[in-house]
Amino acid sequence: MRLDHLAVAAASLAEGVAAVEAALGLALAGGGQHLAMGTHNRLLGLGDVYLEVIAVDPALPAPDRPRWFDLDRFQGPPRLANWVVACDDLGAALADAPDRAGVAMEFARGDLRWQMAVPGDGQLPYDAAYPALIQWQGPAHPTRVLPDSGARLERLEVTHPRADALRAALAGRLADPRVVITNGPVKAIRAEVATPHGKRLLQ
């Protein structure tokens, strides 16, 4: 598995975009709607990974199942709520994943085609400290079409009271020196991003 992207959840897309642009000093680009999930997003390229701001789209009908990233229950200000890792075999990755990591669903937007594991209740294991799993279909990927923002992810810190168990669940499957799993009283995700304006923190 390899780090694919970070997901900032928000009560509205406009609020999420404004918060991220203020935090990083960079303009987001790209994005669109997810018809099957009733959500929409905006994106920011970070070199080999990207950032996604995602929210419920009030213009789309609600899906007949809980939305991904637990967006149906989202409250409060925009925050870095999830991280996503890519794999070459989603079925095999799910077989090794903790319970409630989700079931594979097919998605498409424009030239992008992908499978993603979506939990039945919308919430990923370890209070969503466990990453969402994605498998891209074909060569198209957001990092290949997004403009280069000049920003790069330097560190992704995932904090959870059961950090040892979370590390064990990912041991031997994800090796990225930028990803650090630490112990703490509550789940939290923080990203250190090097931008043309200096280092910025997203959380």
Binned at pLDDT 50, 70 and 90, residue 101 comes out as very high
Q: Give the whole-number percent of the chain exceeding pLDDT 70.
A: 100
- Furthest C-alpha separation in the chain: 43
Predicted pLDDT at 48: 97
Q: What is the mean pLDDT of the chain?
A: 96
Q: Give the whole-number percent of the chain exceeding pLDDT 90.
A: 98
Residue 123, pLDDT above cutoff 90? yes
Predicted pLDDT at 16: 98
**pLDDT tens figures, 149-172:** 999 999 999 999 999 999 999 999
The answer to whether 179 touches 3, Cβ cutoff 8 Å, is yes
Predicted pLDDT at 136: 98
Predicted pLDDT at 159: 98
Which two structure tokens, joined as six digits, stand for 58? 């009030």
Residue 108, pLDDT above cutoff 90? yes
Residues paired with 109 in a beta bridge: 112
Helix, coil or strand: residue 167: helix
Which two structure tokens, joined as six digits, stand for 173? 């499957």
Residue 99, pLDDT above cutoff 90? no
Q: pTM of the predicted model, to two decimals?
A: 0.96
Helix (H) / strand (E) element for 199: namely strand 198-202
Binned at pLDDT 50, 70 and 90, residue 66 comes out as very high
Distance CA(48)–CA(33), nearest Å, equals 23
Distance CA(84)–CA(174), nearest Å, equals 11
**pLDDT tens figures, 124-134:** 999 999 999 99
The answer to whether 122 touches 66, Cβ cutoff 8 Å, is yes
Predicted pLDDT at 17: 98
The answer to whether 170 touches 23, Cβ cutoff 8 Å, is no
Binned at pLDDT 50, 70 and 90, residue 30 comes out as confident
Predicted pLDDT at 100: 84
Q: Which of 106, 105, 130, 107 lies closest to 118, judged by CA?
A: 105
